[in-house]
Amino acid sequence: MNNNEGPEVLIAEEDIRKRVAAFADQISRDYAGKGKLVLVGVLKGAFILLADLSRRLTIPHRVEFIAVSSYGKSSVSTGAVRLIMDLREDIDNKHVLIVEDIVDTGHTLHYLLSLLKARSPASLRTCALVRKSERAQIDVSIDYLGFDVPDVWVVGYGLDYAEQYRTLPYIGILHPREEAKHTPTPGDGC
Protein backbone atom coordinates (compact mmCIF):
# COMPACT_ATOMS: atom_id res chain seq x y z
CA MET A 1 0.00 0.00 0.00
CA ASN A 2 1.17 3.53 -0.49
CA ASN A 3 0.87 6.31 2.08
CA ASN A 4 -2.46 7.52 0.65
CA GLU A 5 -4.15 4.17 1.33
CA GLY A 6 -2.85 3.56 4.86
CA PRO A 7 0.12 1.94 6.50
CA GLU A 8 2.49 -0.05 4.32
CA VAL A 9 2.05 -3.81 4.90
CA LEU A 10 4.96 -5.28 6.84
CA ILE A 11 3.42 -8.60 7.93
CA ALA A 12 0.44 -9.88 5.97
CA GLU A 13 -2.77 -11.10 7.58
CA GLU A 14 -2.17 -14.67 6.37
CA ASP A 15 1.34 -14.73 7.85
CA ILE A 16 -0.04 -13.60 11.21
CA ARG A 17 -2.79 -16.24 11.05
CA LYS A 18 -0.21 -18.99 10.38
CA ARG A 19 2.04 -17.79 13.20
CA VAL A 20 -0.82 -17.65 15.71
CA ALA A 21 -1.84 -21.19 14.71
CA ALA A 22 1.76 -22.33 15.26
CA PHE A 23 1.78 -20.60 18.69
CA ALA A 24 -1.43 -22.35 19.65
CA ASP A 25 -0.19 -25.77 18.54
CA GLN A 26 3.11 -25.39 20.41
CA ILE A 27 1.53 -23.97 23.56
CA SER A 28 -1.10 -26.73 23.54
CA ARG A 29 1.68 -29.35 23.33
CA ASP A 30 3.84 -27.64 25.98
CA TYR A 31 1.02 -27.38 28.52
CA ALA A 32 -0.84 -30.63 27.80
CA GLY A 33 -1.74 -32.41 31.03
CA LYS A 34 -0.58 -29.53 33.26
CA GLY A 35 -4.00 -28.23 34.27
CA LYS A 36 -5.61 -24.97 33.30
CA LEU A 37 -3.26 -22.41 31.74
CA VAL A 38 -3.77 -18.75 32.69
CA LEU A 39 -3.35 -16.43 29.69
CA VAL A 40 -2.55 -12.89 30.85
CA GLY A 41 -3.28 -10.41 28.07
CA VAL A 42 -1.53 -7.05 28.33
CA LEU A 43 -4.07 -4.36 27.45
CA LYS A 44 -4.85 -2.86 25.12
CA GLY A 45 -2.53 -4.07 22.42
CA ALA A 46 -2.66 -7.82 23.03
CA PHE A 47 -6.44 -8.20 22.88
CA ILE A 48 -6.59 -9.37 19.25
CA LEU A 49 -3.67 -11.80 19.60
CA LEU A 50 -5.13 -13.09 22.87
CA ALA A 51 -8.57 -13.65 21.34
CA ASP A 52 -7.22 -15.48 18.28
CA LEU A 53 -4.75 -17.52 20.32
CA SER A 54 -7.24 -18.53 23.00
CA ARG A 55 -9.76 -19.75 20.42
CA ARG A 56 -7.14 -22.02 18.83
CA LEU A 57 -5.78 -23.61 22.02
CA THR A 58 -6.77 -27.24 22.61
CA ILE A 59 -5.98 -27.22 26.33
CA PRO A 60 -7.99 -25.93 29.30
CA HIS A 61 -7.28 -22.24 29.88
CA ARG A 62 -8.66 -19.06 31.33
CA VAL A 63 -8.12 -15.47 30.27
CA GLU A 64 -7.00 -12.63 32.54
CA PHE A 65 -6.05 -9.06 31.70
CA ILE A 66 -3.51 -6.63 33.06
CA ALA A 67 -2.86 -3.05 31.97
CA VAL A 68 0.33 -1.06 32.29
CA SER A 69 1.72 2.14 30.85
CA SER A 70 5.25 3.25 30.15
CA TYR A 71 4.66 6.07 27.71
CA GLY A 72 3.09 8.81 29.82
CA LYS A 73 1.93 11.50 27.39
CA SER A 74 4.61 10.78 24.82
CA SER A 75 5.05 8.39 21.92
CA VAL A 76 8.43 7.41 23.40
CA SER A 77 8.72 5.07 26.37
CA THR A 78 9.97 6.66 29.58
CA GLY A 79 11.17 3.30 30.89
CA ALA A 80 9.13 3.77 34.07
CA VAL A 81 6.25 1.28 34.07
CA ARG A 82 3.02 1.93 35.94
CA LEU A 83 0.35 -0.67 36.76
CA ILE A 84 -3.07 0.57 35.68
CA MET A 85 -5.20 -2.57 36.07
CA ASP A 86 -4.26 -5.74 37.94
CA LEU A 87 -5.36 -9.36 37.55
CA ARG A 88 -8.69 -10.29 39.06
CA GLU A 89 -7.78 -13.87 40.02
CA ASP A 90 -4.93 -15.40 42.02
CA ILE A 91 -2.15 -17.10 40.00
CA ASP A 92 -0.47 -18.90 42.92
CA ASN A 93 0.69 -22.36 41.74
CA LYS A 94 -0.86 -21.81 38.27
CA HIS A 95 0.87 -22.00 34.90
CA VAL A 96 0.89 -18.47 33.50
CA LEU A 97 1.57 -17.19 30.00
CA ILE A 98 1.93 -13.42 29.48
CA VAL A 99 0.57 -12.46 26.05
CA GLU A 100 2.02 -9.20 24.75
CA ASP A 101 1.58 -7.36 21.45
CA ILE A 102 5.08 -5.87 21.20
CA VAL A 103 8.36 -6.00 23.06
CA ASP A 104 10.24 -2.80 22.39
CA THR A 105 12.69 -1.65 25.09
CA GLY A 106 11.85 -4.62 27.30
CA HIS A 107 10.90 -2.51 30.34
CA THR A 108 7.22 -3.50 30.36
CA LEU A 109 7.81 -7.23 30.02
CA HIS A 110 10.60 -7.13 32.62
CA TYR A 111 8.24 -5.33 35.01
CA LEU A 112 5.44 -7.84 34.40
CA LEU A 113 7.73 -10.84 34.85
CA SER A 114 8.95 -9.45 38.19
CA LEU A 115 5.44 -8.55 39.34
CA LEU A 116 3.90 -11.91 38.46
CA LYS A 117 6.86 -14.06 39.57
CA ALA A 118 6.43 -12.64 43.09
CA ARG A 119 2.93 -14.20 43.12
CA SER A 120 4.37 -17.75 43.03
CA PRO A 121 3.01 -19.18 39.76
CA ALA A 122 3.87 -22.80 38.96
CA SER A 123 5.49 -21.48 35.78
CA LEU A 124 5.72 -18.13 34.03
CA ARG A 125 6.38 -17.80 30.30
CA THR A 126 5.95 -15.16 27.63
CA CYS A 127 4.37 -14.83 24.20
CA ALA A 128 4.82 -11.74 22.01
CA LEU A 129 3.62 -11.06 18.52
CA VAL A 130 6.47 -8.72 17.56
CA ARG A 131 9.83 -7.64 18.94
CA LYS A 132 12.02 -4.68 18.06
CA SER A 133 15.35 -6.16 19.12
CA GLU A 134 17.22 -3.05 17.94
CA ARG A 135 15.50 -1.02 20.69
CA ALA A 136 16.08 -3.47 23.55
CA GLN A 137 17.36 -1.85 26.73
CA ILE A 138 16.64 -4.83 28.98
CA ASP A 139 17.18 -8.42 27.92
CA VAL A 140 13.94 -10.34 28.45
CA SER A 141 13.20 -13.87 27.38
CA ILE A 142 10.34 -14.44 24.95
CA ASP A 143 9.27 -18.07 24.87
CA TYR A 144 6.89 -17.74 21.92
CA LEU A 145 7.86 -15.01 19.46
CA GLY A 146 5.96 -14.15 16.32
CA PHE A 147 8.15 -11.77 14.35
CA ASP A 148 11.18 -9.55 14.69
CA VAL A 149 10.49 -6.15 13.13
CA PRO A 150 12.72 -3.18 12.31
CA ASP A 151 12.80 -0.02 14.42
CA VAL A 152 9.81 1.63 12.75
CA TRP A 153 6.37 2.53 14.09
CA VAL A 154 4.19 -0.54 13.52
CA VAL A 155 0.42 -0.61 13.70
CA GLY A 156 -2.38 -3.11 13.23
CA TYR A 157 -3.43 -6.40 14.82
CA GLY A 158 -3.67 -4.66 18.20
CA LEU A 159 -0.80 -2.22 17.75
CA ASP A 160 -1.82 1.42 17.57
CA TYR A 161 -0.74 4.97 17.04
CA ALA A 162 -2.85 7.48 18.97
CA GLU A 163 -5.55 4.79 19.35
CA GLN A 164 -5.82 4.43 15.57
CA TYR A 165 -5.05 1.50 13.24
CA ARG A 166 -5.40 -1.07 16.06
CA THR A 167 -7.97 -3.18 14.19
CA LEU A 168 -6.10 -3.54 10.90
CA PRO A 169 -5.89 -7.27 10.07
CA TYR A 170 -2.18 -6.96 9.18
CA ILE A 171 0.85 -5.27 10.72
CA GLY A 172 1.89 -2.16 8.85
CA ILE A 173 4.51 0.52 8.97
CA LEU A 174 3.25 3.99 9.75
CA HIS A 175 5.32 6.53 7.84
CA PRO A 176 6.22 10.01 9.17
CA ARG A 177 3.64 11.81 7.00
CA GLU A 178 0.89 9.65 8.47
CA GLU A 179 2.22 10.11 12.01
CA ALA A 180 2.10 13.89 11.62
CA LYS A 181 -1.68 13.67 11.13
CA HIS A 182 -2.14 12.51 14.72
CA THR A 183 -1.23 13.67 18.19
CA PRO A 184 0.16 10.77 20.23
CA THR A 185 -1.79 9.55 23.24
CA PRO A 186 -0.48 7.35 26.03
CA GLY A 187 0.57 3.92 24.79
CA ASP A 188 0.06 0.49 26.24
CA GLY A 189 3.56 -0.69 26.93
CA CYS A 190 6.96 -1.23 25.47
Catalytic residues: 104
Where in the chain does DSSP place strands (E)? 8-11, 37-43, 61-69, 82-85, 95-103, 123-131, 144-148, 154-155, 171-173
CA-to-CA dists, residue 128 to 33, 37, 167, 187, 188, angstroms:
23, 17, 17, 16, 14
Closest CA to 115 of 79, 72, 68, 50: 68
177/41 Cα distance (integer angstroms): 31
Closest CA to 58 of 91, 21, 97: 21
174/142 Cα distance (integer angstroms): 25
